[in-house]
Amino acid sequence: MRSLAIWLTALSLFSTAPLLAQSDEAAESDAAPTPEEVRAAAREAYGRGQALYREGKHAEAETAFMEAYAMIPNPVVLLGVAEAREAQGNVVGTVEALETYLAERDDAPDRAAVQQRIDTMKAMPATLVISSQPAGATIILDGEQTGSVTPAEIEVDPGPHVVALRLDGREPAEAQVEAIYASRPEIALELAEAVPEAVPLEGDGNAVPGAGIEDLEDTDEADDGPGTAVWVLSGVAAASLVAGTVLGFLALTEESDFDDMPAEGTADKGERFALFADVAFGLAAVTAISAIVVFATSGDDDEEEEAEEGASARLYPVASPRGAGLVGQVQF
């Protein structure tokens, strides 16, 4: 019995020995790397980044430099990060890396050069990439015309800006943007169709879409004063009156000459002048009366329009064995 217990104890020791050995190996593998191992890994990542940068693989180089910096945050590594970002056109990221470098390395020997490099990059203009739907809208930047239409790219100084778009038949639109140096912010605006403004008219309470104040003012001005027919008739009456006066004067002159020296030719000429004067005076009287009638009945808009459209005055020459003259015809 005693020998059996010794044998079982020995068996249990042999069976647990491999488990103890595996536990020791796991503990060794889970142990933190030594400082030397970390430095070696950081040097390897940094060297790999330099090699990738020389090969033109700038994005992979940036990743390698950031691995090295994460293992050992040496500010010098940030210079490599800045170079890789600048080669990719990432100016904002370059400035961020350089500013972190100066903040973490108080004794940086190249502080002045790095700071000048930062200032130069921060002064770089931004480029606004402006588009609209539909295209062809006039671009107004900070309240001033740019002379450009959408789509367009416009360089601006870093800082806040207001972009406004104008297009005939469309509602205006605008947007505010904070332009960061060397950035390319995109501004896309949709211009809705313009809705005609409804102007209410007095009396019926209805609204006329698209009618503006200027249209109403033009209508009021058109309603003031006599119509076209009145001016036409008045002009014909005045011209006829002047013609009758001149012809009457000539008729009196011929009559005076006939009295001084009677002659058949002088008598005939005087009679013709007298006849023409009578015709002119008659036409003046008719057109004057017509003008008065049209002016008196011009209160109604519809009647005034009909009178303006239908009013006319014409002269017809007539001849007979007894003489010649003019016949006037007035329509209104």
pLDDT in tens, 273-324: 667 667 766 776 766 777 676 666 665 555 445 444 555 555 555 545 455 4
The reported pLDDT for the residue numbered 240 is 66
pLDDT for residue 58? 97
Mean pLDDT of 102-107: 94
Same domain, 252 and 271: yes
Residue 8 banded pLDDT, cuts 50, 70, 90 = very low
Q: Supply the pLDDT for residue 9.
A: 41
Number of domains making up the chain:
3
Q: Which residue has the higher pLDDT, 258 or 282?
A: 282
Picking from 105, 122, 139, the residue at the C-terminal end of a domain is: 122
Digit-coded pLDDT (tens) for 47-62: 999 999 999 999 999 9
Task: Write down which residue in 90, 107, 122 finishes a domain.
Answer: 122
Q: Is residue 199 part of a domain?
A: no
CATH of the domain at 55: 1.25.40.10
Residue 242 pLDDT: 74
Residue 204 belongs to a domain = no
pLDDT value at residue 71: 94
- pLDDT confidence band for 262 (50 / 70 / 90): low
Question: Is 131 found in the same domain as 36?
Answer: no
Please name the helix (run of DSSP H) or strand (run of DSSP E) that holds residue 4, with its range, or none.
Answer: helix 2-30
Residues 232 and 150 grouped into a single domain: no
Answer yes or no: do 316 and 231 share one domain.
Answer: yes
| Residues 289, 250 share a domain | yes
Cα dihedral sign for 207, 208, 211, 213? negative
* Same structural domain, 36 and 100: yes
How many CB atoms neighbour CB 263 within 10 A?
A: 10
For residues 165 and 245, membership in a common domain is answered with no
For residue 147, tell me if it sits in a domain.
Answer: yes
CATH of the domain at 159: 2.60.40.1120
- Does 6 map to a domain? no
pLDDT tens profile 65-103: 999 999 999 999 999 999 999 999 999 999 999 999 999
pLDDT surpassing 60 at residue 22: no
In a domain, 181, yes or no: yes
Domain boundary among 75, 104, 122: 122
Per-residue b or e along 11-49, where b marks 16 or more CB atoms closer than 10 Å to that residue's CB: eeeeeeeeeeeeeeeeeeeeeeeeeeeeeeebeebbebb
- Say what the pLDDT of residue 234 is: 73
> Residue 251: inside a domain, yes or no?
yes
Residue 18, in any domain of the structure:
no
For 76, the domain range is 32-122
Q: Are 135 and 153 in a shared domain? A: yes
Checking if the pLDDT of 5 tops 50, the result is no
Same domain, 286 and 239: yes
Distance CA 44, CA 81 (A): 15
- Taking residues 232-245, report their average pLDDT: 72
- Please indicate, yes or no, whether residues 116 and 165 belong to a single structural domain of this protein: no
pLDDT, tens digit, 9 for 90 and up, residues 118-152: 999 999 999 999 999 999 999 999 999 999 999 99
Residues 130 and 117 in one domain: no
Distances (CA, A) of 26 to 23, 31, 76, 204: 5, 9, 36, 96
* Residue 196 belongs to a domain: no
What tokens does 222 get?
Answer: 């058109």
Asked if 291 and 237 touch (Cβ cutoff 8 Å), the reply is yes
- Residue 190's pLDDT is 95
Are 108 and 135 in the same domain?
Answer: no
Q: What is the mean pLDDT of the chain?
A: 76
